[in-house]
A and B are shown apart, each in its own frame.
Chain A
């Protein structure tokens, strides 16, 4: 079955601390992987994507993610969190000739001053 698991529902970090959000997926074919961020009352903004090639991908706002096929993981990282990073983060998987994405349940990030 195709699925995405984000094991952390809620994470709190201090401003300036590093961040890692976990994402594990199950997908039968070659996956395309995405991280999106959603602020309250807003739509989803794409942070980064992985299609193929280099397994470490860079995104906007200083985020990066590493694709590990052996672990079926695509964890999101940021070396130093800013207060404006407080939002909900979604990992998603898709593939093939379709724009159907399967989303994880999201991780709500709170940033302490």
Chain B
């Protein structure tokens, strides 16, 4: 099976712009989660989608949003970019049953805001 695919791998944006990141989960996985990784804050949960519905949300401002499509692919959007949004954004998918199912991570999208 192909793993979790994230595109693009690298992105450079200017402060104030917006950005959309894409994630294709492992085939058959219906849950997709997003995490932000920075040197200062570590790995932080952004949100989780299951069957096109947001099931859980982390403590991030409303500039961060996401969605999931009927084929389980997911996108996250960050509007009005700030320098502090520079990070590695990781997408993870897991199977239908959520109880303790391990997350399978993609290689991430490295976002740099200048």
Contacts and interface: CB of A to CB of B under 8 A. Distances in A.
Interface of A: 32, 34, 36, 41-46, 49, 51, 90, 92, 94-106
B48 interface: yes
Interface residues of B, number: 26
18 contacts: A32-B100, A36-B105, A42-B108, A43-B105, A44-B90, A46-B102, A46-B104, A49-B100, A49-B102, A51-B100, A90-B43, A92-B43, A98-B56, A99-B33, A99-B103, A100-B45, A100-B48, A101-B43
Contacts of B4: 43
A103 B108 CA distance: 17
Given A42-B107, A94-B100, A99-B48, 5 more contacts: A44-B90, A97-B99, A99-B94, A101-B43, A104-B42
